[in-house]
Amino acid sequence: MPDLSLPAPLFPREIVELGLRFHPLTKAELLDEIFRQRPAGTQIVVAGANLHGLYVTHVDPAYDRLLARPETLVIVDGMPVVWMLKARGHAVSRHHRTTWVDWLTDSFARAAEENKGVFVLGHSEAVLEAGLARARARWPGLRIKGRSGYFDMRPGSAELDAVVASINAARPHFLVVGMGMPRQERFVEAVRARLDVPVIGLGGAAFAYFAGFEPTPPRWMGRWGLEWLHRLGADPRRMAHRYLVEPPFLAGHLARRAWRQRARRA
C-alpha cells in the first residue's frame, strides 16, 4: 500500500492563487509527471481545475480536501482558469491548458511504450467495453483493464471492496477514474490509502469521448475557450446548470475571496 505520510513529490511549478493550488504544465510536462519514476510507495492524484471543478470545491468538501492535498497535481483544465491566472499576473498560456481529451490517448501510447498498466474505473459496461476494445486495437501491447463505475460505494460494502481488490490485482501504474464530479473524488478520498497505484487520475467523461459515446468538441473551440458551447448544445438539459448557473456563482465567490485577501494585506 502507498505510504501517504511520505513527503509530497515536488511538482514543477506551483501557483497558489485565491486559496487554490494550480500546477500549470504543458501536455509533454504532464505526461512526464504521470510516468516519472518515483520512490516506491509514493502516490499522486491528477485532478483538473476547470470552472465546474472550482464550483464543486465550494459545495463538496471531498473535492476541496483532495485539491488541497500536497500530493495532488492540479492541472489547468480550461481556458477560463488560464485567463483567471493571467489576470492575477501569472505567466500562463493556452499551452498550459491540459484538458483530458487532449492527452488521454497520449497517456495510453506512453503506457504501451513503457509497458505500464492502465486501469479504467467508470462509465457503463457498453462505454467501458467499447473503449477498452478501441485501446487494445490501437495499441496491441497496452496492458489495460477496467470496471464499470456503477457499484455500491458505501463504506464497507462488498462491491466497494471488490472494486479495490480488482484494481490492486491488475497492478496498474495509472488508474483513470471516470465517474463524474464529485462521485469520483469521494471514491478516491475514501479508498486511496488502500490502492496500490502510483498515479490516480480523475478523468470525468474523457474515456467516454475516447470510446466514441460522447461527441468530441472541435479542438479549436477548446483553445479559444468555447468548448462549453459545443457541450451545452449537445446536451442542454444536463449541461445548462454547469455552464449557465455555476459560473456567475463562482465569479461572485472568487471576487469576494479576492476582496478579503486585499483587505487583509491593507
| pLDDT tens figures, 171-227 | 999 999 999 998 999 999 999 999 999 999 999 999 999 999 987 888 877 777 778
Question: Is the pLDDT at 254 greater than 80, yes or no?
Answer: no
Give tens-digit pLDDT for 82-127.
Answer: 998 999 899 999 999 999 999 999 999 999 999 999 999 999 999 9
242 and 52 in contact (C-beta within 8 Å)?
yes
Give tens-digit pLDDT for 137-167.
Answer: 999 999 999 999 999 999 999 999 999 999 9
CA distance 4 to 189: 12
Highest mean pLDDT among 30-34, 97-101, 237-241, 248-252: 30-34
Indicate the pLDDT class of residue 2, thresholds 50, 70 and 90.
very low
**What is the signed CA dihedral for 72, 160, 107, 25, rounded to 10 degrees?**
-10
Taking the model in full, what pTM does it have? 0.89
108 and 211 in contact (C-beta within 8 Å)?
no
